[in-house]
Amino acid sequence: MACGRGAGPRHGADKKYLDNWYTGMFTIRFMSEAFKFERQRAYDLIVERIFGSDFDRTLPLSERGLSELFGIGRMPVREALRRLEQEGVVEVRPARGTFLRNVEEVDLRRIYQVRTALECLVAADAARQVPSREFLQIGTKLEIMLRDLESFSPADIDDAGTEFHERLVEASGNDVAAETIRLFRTRFRLAFHLPRYFSFPTAAKTLRDHRDIFEAVVAGDPDLAASRMKEHLAKGLELRLRLSTTSKAAAPVT
């Protein structure tokens, strides 16, 4: 009986300990997931700001300023900036701060070589697969836009192009290439994402390029899909280099 009477308080203490342990573990896990969410949110907002038409690349990306602007803690902003630095999008200049990385011609050509190798590979691989419903849907979207071009802005067409490339990677079934492209995605965008410079004719040509690549993939022709992708990206590089040259020529002498 003595043992029975003694077991009550002990059992109560164990239950309280377990309750506290589970509560603590839940709190830690919740805080960890909340931080991951805020870190990704900070990253997405910074990327959106970098590629906005009113972004001044001569000014530093202030951790404090971005935190106040977005209403997010400084730690998620710091982690987001660190990720962008690892991705080669921003650079830390001693005693000056964090700046958007300058993309020189040699960088553009190297990025183009890497992107071409990866995206020609996924285009060919996608042509070897049975088209998924999601991939067919983006093809329908491209066709609708081509039939009524005047109803869409260059930015709309650029967004559709971004979606097309993402769906193409998914359709390839090549997980290794997909992961590699994901790691370089923002750096590729820094080099080639130019909707604010697009004239309507340029955007329309890009849209037709995407439609032509789509048709080669659906036709199950890996060589044609890769060839059209290579030609498409070469046009993008040519445009980017031309804009870079024009920008330098127009820059004031300091």
Instruction: Based on the fold, state whether residues 179 and 53 are members of the same structural domain.
Output: no
Last residue of a domain, one of 46, 81, 100: 100
Q: Please report the DSSP string for 98-115 in residue order.
A: EEEPP--HHHHHHHHHHH
- Residue 75: CATH number of its domain: 1.10.10.10
Instruction: Based on the fold, state whether residues 96 and 109 are members of the same structural domain.
Output: no
- Select the more confidently predicted residue: 195 or 203: 203
149 is a domain residue: yes
DSSP one-letter code for 234: H
Residue 244: the pLDDT is 64
Instruction: Based on the fold, state whether residues 130 and 216 are members of the same structural domain.
Output: yes
Its domain, for residue 242, covers: 105-250
**Integer Rg of the chain from CA:** 25
2 is a domain residue: no
6 is a domain residue: no
Query: Rounded to an integer, what distance in angstroms lies between the CA atom of residue 196 and that of residue 187?
Result: 17
**Model pTM?**
0.67
Q: Which of 15-24, 36-45, 52-61 has the lowest mean pLDDT?
A: 15-24
Tokens of 90: 């921003």
Instruction: Based on the fold, state whether residues 231 and 208 are members of the same structural domain.
Output: yes
pLDDT grade for 57, boundaries at 50, 70 and 90:
confident
Instruction: Based on the fold, state whether residues 116 and 210 are members of the same structural domain.
Output: yes
Last residue of a domain, one of 100, 116, 150: 100
Instruction: Based on the fold, state whether residues 158 and 172 are members of the same structural domain.
Output: yes
Looking up tokens 């590699």 gives 180
Instruction: Based on the fold, state whether residues 70 and 192 are members of the same structural domain.
Output: no
- Select the more confidently predicted residue: 15 or 142: 142
Query: Could you tell me which residues are beta bridge partners of residue 98?
Result: 92
Last residue of a domain, one of 100, 123, 149: 100
Tokens of 66: 């971005």
Instruction: Based on the fold, state whether residues 208 and 174 are members of the same structural domain.
Output: yes
Instruction: Based on the fold, state whether residues 49 and 16 are members of the same structural domain.
Output: yes
Taking only the tens place, the pLDDT of each residue in 98-134 is 988 877 788 788 888 999 999 999 999 999 999 999 9
Q: Which of 48, 36, 45 is nearest to 79 (CA)?
A: 36
